[in-house]
């Protein structure tokens, strides 16, 4: 049982995995101690994520809605702060340069990645601040309504 599931079961809330299991696994891999905790303990507060505009989150999630872009983004997240050259990404994903360029443009427009030219090489990097903001926005109020209802019933 993960830390998040343990926390949820301690407060009597069932956090069931549904069709979005992949997203939940991705979220809990990034923020295993933050899921379902922001309302339990003030020192775990992620209040600044609530202020993220729903329009920004929707555009970023829409950008990640393409399987190719999601694979591309995950490859950049895995690459770390050094990022990956476009040629390495192209080889890793096995896609044409024009297709890669199209998908990188979408991710860059939503702020999920950045690009830096180093001589003749274009380096792509995941924007970890944007990723953390998006993940925080998704999980910040996890199970809050259930907890509020349980608190009123007690």
pLDDT, tens digit (0-9, with 9 covering 90-100), for 34-52: 444 433 444 444 444 455 6
* Average pLDDT for 138-149: 80
Q: Are residues 79 and 124 in the same domain?
A: yes
Q: For position 51, what pLDDT does the model report?
A: 54
Q: Are residues 65 and 28 in the same domain?
A: no
Average pLDDT along the chain: 76
Residue 51 resides in a domain: no
Q: For position 36, what pLDDT does the model report?
A: 41
- Give the 3-state secondary structure of residue 28: helix
Residue, of 154 and 5, whose pLDDT is higher:
154
* Average pLDDT for 71-94: 97
Helix, strand counts (H, E) of the chain: 9, 3
Per the structure, how many domains does the chain have?
2
* Average pLDDT for 123-141: 92
Q: Are residues 30 and 61 in the same domain?
A: no
Host domain of residue 100: 56-130
143 pLDDT above the threshold of 80: yes
Residue 15 resides in a domain: yes
Q: For position 140, what pLDDT does the model report?
A: 82
Q: Are residues 82 and 125 in the same domain?
A: yes
| CATH value at residue 60 | 1.10.10.10
Q: Are residues 34 and 98 in the same domain?
A: no
Q: Are residues 67 and 123 in the same domain?
A: yes
Q: Find the DSSP H helices in 12-143.
A: 21-30, 47-50, 54-63, 67-79, 86-93, 97-109, 128-139
Residue 73 resides in a domain: yes
Q: For position 145, what pLDDT does the model report?
A: 82
Helices 128-139 and 21-30: angle between axes, nearest 10 degrees: 120
């Amino acid at each position: 049982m993960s830390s998040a599931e343990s926390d949820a079961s301690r407060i009597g809330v069932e956090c069931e995995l549904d069709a979005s299991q992949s997203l939940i696994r991705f979220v809990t891999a990034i923020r295993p101690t933050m899921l379902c905790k922001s309302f339990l303990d003030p020192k775990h507060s992620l209040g600044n994520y609530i202020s993220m505009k729903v329009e920004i989150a929707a555009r970023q999630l829409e950008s990640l809605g393409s399987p190719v872009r999601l694979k591309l983004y995950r490859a950049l997240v895995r690459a770390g702060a050094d990022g990956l050259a476009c040629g390495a990404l192209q080889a890793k994903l096995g896609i044409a340069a024009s297709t890669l360029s199209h998908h990188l443009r979408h991710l860059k427009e939503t702020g999920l990645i950045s690009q830096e030219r180093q001589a003749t090489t274009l380096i792509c990097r995941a924007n970890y601040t944007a990723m953390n903001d998006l993940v925080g926005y998704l999980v910040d109020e996890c199970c809050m309504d259930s907890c509020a209802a349980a608190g009123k019933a007690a």
